[in-house]
A and B are shown apart, each in its own frame.
Chain A
Amino acid sequence: MSDHDYRPKSKVGQWFNDRLPLLTLANHLTDYPTPKNLNYWWTFGGILTFCLITQIVTGLTLAMHYIAHADMAFESVEHIMRDVNYGWLIRYIHANGASMFFLAVYIHIFRSLFYGSYKAPREIIWIIGIIIYLLMMAAAFMGYVLPWGQMSFWGATVITNLFSAIPFVGEGIVTWLWGGYSVDNPTLTRFFTLHYLIPFLILGLVVLHIWALHVPGNNNPVGIDIKKPSKDTVPFHPYIVIKDGFALLMFMIVFAFFVFYAPNILGHADNYIEANPMVTPAHIVPEWYLLPFYAILRSVPDKLLGVVAMLSAILILAVLPWLDTSKIRSAVFRPLYKQFYWILVADVLILGYVGAMPAEGLYLLIARVATAYYFLHFLVILPVLGFKEKTLPVPLSITEPVLGGSPNLAAARNKESKIE
């Protein structure tokens, strides 16, 4: 933290700050030197904070009306929709808020991948981020079970059954998770408890995520280390606050569109049918944000190996800082990586598409090729690329090339335009 010598102006402020240095913290957060070239892809950290707080506030209010019991959960959700004042609004914000949260987190993650934000010295920020992402998936899954509709029930059945793939102890673990011999009331009540708990765990991890960020400071589009504070930085307030605020407004327009004009477009009609353990819906699909991993699960013909592949696809991200051997962070100066980056983006989108389709014929074949490529990208392409790729010259600072002081960026720009 930069401003150890900060002293509040008022006597009262000094008295308080000497006992609890909250004002020092506030001063650090407002003066925090930020690279001046941050683009709009960097605004998603703030947007994600907004998403988390929105989910917590709407979730708390929903919990005042929801009843976590297998016989009453479905009706209590309909009660929220029809009877509770503005219940429909709060529930639609919460349900679509989950989708918006994942939309923002995927942009945030892919921004890191493009600009190499996960590389030294930011590995811990990245790993905390992956843990947050895992917790988000757990919270979203359990939240989806709470309305106790058909998709809730069968989604819970299929996902908890993944654990039965574990040799020897699998069946015992599934019974333990259920608290019975099938998904039933004990499963619902524990999922509600955990769904309530996880957002607060995420909140704690977000504090660590930001703390770890404020040690080295933000990465930036050029991906070079900068001196702080210097000509290359601006104070967080007001510069970044205004930029983040504007981006948040744009994001809220998209958010509001879904809430008010298409509140059910991201859900499944089957979830408005109450859970029935006797009948499985014809086509079980997870929510859109889990589809790429679902496609990986189904692309492997063996039950255990399918589960292993799906988990590996997520956990491989945690070791990414050591799989990427390139010293250059930003894809702007990595002509080959930049192309592989966009192939990976396409690959994940394709996996998401085939994950929503039935697992047969051509879809299955595409899912298998895309799954193989996903792992190839992380396990082969990234490690090799660091040694083979001829990177472009990196500027010495953010300010220099803009003022015409350095020939490096001009040369880089020339080469870049030739490649494209």
Chain B
Amino acid sequence: MSEKKTKRRDFLFTATTAVGAVGAAAVVWPMIDQMNPDASVKALASTEVDVSSLTPGNTLTVLWRGKPVFIRRRTQEEIDEARAVKMEDLIHPEKDEDRAKNPEWLVMLGVCTHLGCVPLNDKGDYNGWFCPCHGSHYDTSGRIRKGPAPWNMEVPKYEFVDANTIKIG
């Protein structure tokens, strides 16, 4: 086969197609990005919660960014149980000390990391949480111990504004 010489017209075809493709992509992107969280959703980034009424052994559930957040005031037994667990026994190894900086307070997203259901309090084989949807068991530190969920329940960014108020986000 004889080699075909590149002509002016071939160059024009390639250049036109390339510019057309870039133009099409530039128009398609806004159509895709409009579905991402909008400014008003992003604006609801933090919530302040009064936890003064919470006694040890109880959990407060608050809504943050449309998702439930568990605030658990843990008893000494629960803390001891969570801290006694060996790292080898964990599916997603995380120290309780890292999850609960102040051991009495455990703050985490009440969302099962499997498919997003809300786990039930004080249930399951590890005295922590149990997800009724597909049977994931979490311990007193909210770490996954048994079931299909791949990770521990997520600890969001939070801080104590004063002794009785937690700011989430």
Q: Which stretch (A25-33, A174-182, A215-223, A403-411) binds chain B?
A: A174-182
The closest CB in chain A to the CB of B32 belongs to A176
Interface of B is mostly: loop
- Number of A-B contacts defined by CB within 8 Å: 81
Question: Contacts A184-B66, A277-B67, A278-B61; is A303 near B37 (CB within 8 Å)?
Answer: no
Which residues of chain B from 106 to 153 have a CB within 8 Å of any chain A CB?
Answer: 114-118, 131-135, 148-150
Q: A179-B41, A180-B66, A358-B135 are in contact. List 9 more A-B contacts (CB 8 A).
A: A161-B115, A176-B32, A181-B41, A182-B67, A278-B118, A280-B132, A280-B133, A281-B132, A284-B132
| Shortest beta-carbon contacts, A-B, top 5 | A182-B66, A181-B65, A280-B117, A161-B116, A161-B115
When chains A and B are docked, how far (Å) is the Cα of A79 from the Cα of B141?
45
Interface centre among B38, B65, B116, B149 (most CB of A within 10 A): B116
B interface residues with partner A (beta carbon < 8 Å): 32, 35-38, 41, 61, 63, 65-68, 114-118, 131-135, 148-150
Do A180 and B65 have beta carbons less than 8 Å apart? yes
Do B132 and A179 have beta carbons less than 8 Å apart? no
The closest CB in chain B to the CB of A283 belongs to B132
When chains A and B are docked, how far (Å) is the Cα of A36 from the Cα of B90?
66
When chains A and B are docked, how far (Å) is the Cα of A55 from the Cα of B167?
48
The residue that B41 contacts in the complex, of A186, A282, A358, with Cβ under 8 A, is A186
Residues of B within 8 A of A162 (CB): 115
| Distance from B115 Cβ to chain A, minimum over Cβ atoms (Å) | 4
| A147 lies within 8 A of chain B by Cβ | no
When chains A and B are docked, how far (Å) is the Cα of A278 from the Cα of B62?
8
Residues of B within 8 A of A161 (CB): 114-116
Do B68 and A278 have beta carbons less than 8 Å apart? yes
Which residues of chain A from 93 to 144 have a CB within 8 Å of any chain B CB?
Answer: none
| A394 lies within 8 A of chain B by Cβ | no
Contacts A/B (CB < 8 Å), 12 sampled: A158-B115, A158-B117, A161-B115, A176-B35, A177-B35, A179-B35, A180-B65, A181-B37, A183-B66, A184-B66, A277-B68, A280-B117
Residues of B within 8 A of A190 (CB): 35
Residues of B within 8 A of A178 (CB): 37
When chains A and B are docked, how far (Å) is the Cα of A360 from the Cα of B63?
31
The closest CB in chain A to the CB of B36 belongs to A176
Do B148 and A306 have beta carbons less than 8 Å apart? yes
When chains A and B are docked, how far (Å) is the Cα of A301 from the Cα of B146?
11
Interface centre among B35, B63, B117, B133 (most CB of A within 10 A): B133
Do B134 and A359 have beta carbons less than 8 Å apart? yes
When chains A and B are docked, how far (Å) is the Cα of A283 from the Cα of B135?
11
Residues of A within 8 A of B118 (CB): 277-280
Count A-side interface residues using an 8 Å CB cutoff: 35
The residue that A180 contacts in the complex, of B41, B135, B148, with Cβ under 8 A, is B41
Do A158 and B68 have beta carbons less than 8 Å apart? no
Do B37 and A179 have beta carbons less than 8 Å apart? yes
The residue that A298 contacts in the complex, of B35, B67, B134, with Cβ under 8 A, is B134
The closest CB in chain B to the CB of A162 belongs to B115
Residues of B within 8 A of A183 (CB): 66
| Distance from B164 Cβ to chain A, minimum over Cβ atoms (Å) | 22
| A337 lies within 8 A of chain B by Cβ | no
The closest CB in chain A to the CB of B110 belongs to A278
Question: Contacts A175-B36, A190-B35, A280-B133; is A181 near B117 (CB within 8 Å)?
Answer: no
Residues of A within 8 A of B66 (CB): 180-184, 277
Residues of A within 8 A of B149 (CB): 303
| Distance from A279 Cβ to chain B, minimum over Cβ atoms (Å) | 6
Which residues of chain A from 146 to 185 have a CB within 8 Å of any chain B CB?
Answer: 154, 157-158, 160-162, 164, 175-184
When chains A and B are docked, how far (Å) is the Cα of A177 from the Cα of B32?
10
Do A301 and B148 have beta carbons less than 8 Å apart? yes
